[in-house]
Chain A
Amino acid sequence: MIEWLAHPGLVLLLGAMLLPFLRARARAAAVLVLPLLALILVWRLPDGAGLSAQWLGYQLTPISLDKLSRLFATIFSIMAFAGGLFALAQPSRLELPAAYLYAGAAIGVVLAGDLISVFVFWELMAVGSTLVLWSAGTAAAWAASRRYMMIHLLGGVILFAGISGHVLGTGDTAFVRMAPDSIAHWLILIGFLVNAGAPPLSAWLPDAYPEASWSGTVFLSAFTTKTAVYVLLRGFPGTEFLIWVGLFMVFYGIVYALLENDMRRILAYSIVNQVGFMIAGIGIGTEMALNGAAAHAFTHIIYKGLLLMSAGSVLFATGKRKCSELGGLFHSMPAATICGIIGALAISSFPLTSGFVSKSMVSQAAADGHLTWVWLALAAASAGVFLHAGIKFPWFVFFQKDSGLRPADPPANMRWAMYGFSFLCLAIGVWPEALYRLLPHAVAYEPYTAAHVLTQLQLLLFSGLAFFVMLPWLKRTLTITLDTDWVYRVFLPALAMAAGRGIGGIQKGMLRGGAAIGARLSIAIRRHQRADGFLMRSRPTSVMAFWAMLVLLAYLIVNYIQ
């Protein structure tokens, strides 16, 4: 039993249960030590299957390590640490334990060697993330968490059906490479894609994540979509259909983010956009593309966490989320501004930032495979990332018009979390070899060629020009843009109401009709209750005997037939 305690995910999970009982310094120490402990364990565990157990006759291997799972477990531990540091002063007593439960479950998914363990941790993740949402404590967060839970339970049921089918069909629980060649495998693929934020249900992500607290969204941005990227990398590499899913997500994210006014919803749409690059890479499926998808997941967690920390600092300091109410904050929040800009440059894949060395591998794979249209779409999307997140977020929050707000930079723990992630964004960009060594396949790629740097600068700077030239068209308004969640937030409830009214009407009609019949019947009965009425008439005994005999005869016949 003791070796189970060496499971990095369980360390975080069980540690999360202790947090509510700790106070002040002990709590802060536990918050910072637990993810580091998990990180050390991830690196001390040997490759291959570690733990194994039998359950209902099925082989479970909750720990099975290789380079891919170690890469993801590493970044999840780092993310939990930075998120914990950022959230130290969070007044909600529920949020951090919930976030560590969530992070521990995510590590559990990426370490699991069998589909049953994957599923158990997958569902724990849904519980943890819903609790993170709840702990925001607002009516909007409560409503959003119910919709969030509904979608993830649906995804979980689909995944469970798929896993059941796979295990019944093959008799094997091992999580191995699959192809969408049977109903069971399609169900597994769909279950994975729901968590990745793929169409048609992408709307759950920008609907739910921005409703969490200023620190909660930092955690939410990291784990659910990236575990989905991980399981797709392991389960469905080279599934061509994923290229098109990924490209759709890329452009969906850009277009919706361009129309958005809420700064954290802009960043939420851009999660869908970035995960789209990864999923397109998984669809291309060459070693270069898979390395690119894995590396991009790694760098994305860092710069998206950083961007949401920067946005979280603004929300923490001002209580405002809408771009139309913000602006000019660079005057009084230099740390949040500079860190936000570093994150924005990294997400845009500027040379010398982490995005440049990871995303370009996916484009390179498309070029190597002579996928002209895919490559063109990815290039257009790269320009669009700078447009919708790289400039839009810092510009509308920290610059544009002066809102007159002069909030101070956040406390030291929040600043240091941002400094740490800013450092990583730049360090990975300058020394990509360290990240490349962690990737699942050997890397034969040099990001810093003169041609690559120049073409990328042209692409990005001219998309910057497009932003400022067309700025009047991007002016923020107090609006949202309808998405597929409209179906289950407005259309279906309205349909249910209408159906309810219809059924209510029928019921009322029946009651009224029934009452009329009943009234008429009772009048008729009362008429026959009079002295000369049918019910009160006296009858001869022989008539009664005749009827009794008839009944007995009928009884005999029925009995005989049977």
Chain B
Amino acid sequence: MQKHWLDQPRNVRLLWRAFLGVLVATVLAEFLVHLHPHFEIESLFAFHAWYGFLACALMIIVARVLAFLLKRRDSYYDRSDHD
């Protein structure tokens, strides 16, 4: 069977480069598009880019901390529920 084009590491690398290229393009596009910020903080350079990244990083970290406290095996409830 022929391998799917997505299964070839060469193509995955290519996709990564394209993705990073698009990221850079969206930031550089700020020089071309007139943004009309509602709040002061929004007028910082590439606000939505770094805010989105940091917000997600923070949420992942919060999730990790929560997991540390509240994570259980997925069979945790099996005994108590089916009595």
A and B, one complex? yes
Which residues of A approach B to under 8 Å, CB–CB? 139-140, 143, 251, 254-255, 258-259, 261-262, 322, 330-331, 367-368, 370, 372, 375-376, 379-380, 383-384, 387-388, 399, 402, 450-451, 454-467, 470, 473-474, 477-483, 489-490, 493
Q: Is the CB of B70 within 8 A of A455?
A: no
Work out how many contacts link A and B, with CB atoms closer than 8 A: 146
Given contacts A402-B7, A462-B50, contact A379 B38 (CB under 8 A): no
**For residues 17 through 55 of chain B, which have their beta carbon under 8 Å from a beta carbon of chain A?**
19, 22-23, 26-27, 29-30, 33-36, 38-39, 41, 46-53, 55
Q: For the A-B complex with A262-B74, A330-B4, A462-B23 known, give 11 more contacts whose Cβ atoms are closer than 8 Å.
A: A139-B82, A384-B56, A388-B59, A456-B48, A457-B26, A459-B48, A466-B60, A467-B56, A481-B71, A482-B72, A489-B81
Q: Is the CB of B34 within 8 A of A258?
A: no
Q: Is the CB of A462 within 8 A of B66?
A: no
Q: Is the CB of B80 within 8 A of A478?
A: no
Closest chain B residue to A379, Cβ basis: B51
Q: Is the CB of A458 within 8 A of B46?
A: yes
Given contacts A383-B55, A466-B56, A489-B80, contact A458 B63 (CB under 8 A): no
The secondary-structure label for the interface of chain A is helix
The residues of B that contact A450 with a CB separation of less than 8 Å are: 33-34
The residues of B that contact A464 with a CB separation of less than 8 Å are: 19
The secondary-structure label for the interface of chain B is helix
For B, the interface residue count at a CB cutoff of 8 angstroms equals: 46
The residues of B that contact A483 with a CB separation of less than 8 Å are: 70
The residues of A that contact B23 with a CB separation of less than 8 Å are: 461-462, 465
Most buried by A among B6, B52, B63, B80: B52
A467 to B56, CA, bound (A): 8
**For residues 62 through 83 of chain B, which have their beta carbon under 8 Å from a beta carbon of chain A?**
62-64, 66-67, 70-74, 76-77, 80-82
Q: Which of B47, B55, B74, B81 contacts A384 (CB 8 A)?
A: B55
A456 to B67, CA, bound (A): 30
The residues of A that contact B50 with a CB separation of less than 8 Å are: 462
Rounded to whole Å, the gap between the CB of A523 and the closest CB of chain B is 45
A474 to B64, CA, bound (A): 9
Q: Is the CB of A470 within 8 A of B57?
A: yes
The residues of B that contact A481 with a CB separation of less than 8 Å are: 66-67, 70-72
- Ranked 4 nearest A-B pairs via Cβ: A466-B56, A380-B55, A458-B48, A367-B38
A336 to B67, CA, bound (A): 31
Q: Is the CB of B63 within 8 A of A455?
A: no
Can you report 8 A-B residue pairs in the complex whose CB atoms are below 8 A from each other? A255-B66, A258-B59, A258-B60, A383-B51, A456-B48, A458-B46, A462-B53, A481-B66
The residues of B that contact A384 with a CB separation of less than 8 Å are: 55-56, 59
Q: Is the CB of A259 within 8 A of B22?
A: no
Q: Which of A455, A460, A470 contacts B60 (CB 8 A)?
A: A470
Rounded to whole Å, the gap between the CB of A337 and the closest CB of chain B is 11
Q: Is the CB of B67 within 8 A of A490?
A: no
Rounded to whole Å, the gap between the CB of A341 and the closest CB of chain B is 13
Rounded to whole Å, the gap between the CB of A473 and the closest CB of chain B is 6
A474 to B77, CA, bound (A): 23
Given contacts A480-B74, A481-B66, contact A143 B55 (CB under 8 A): no
The residues of A that contact B53 with a CB separation of less than 8 Å are: 383, 462-463, 465-466
Q: Is the CB of A455 within 8 A of B59?
A: no
A251 to B60, CA, bound (A): 11
The residues of A that contact B64 with a CB separation of less than 8 Å are: 473
A461 to B27, CA, bound (A): 11
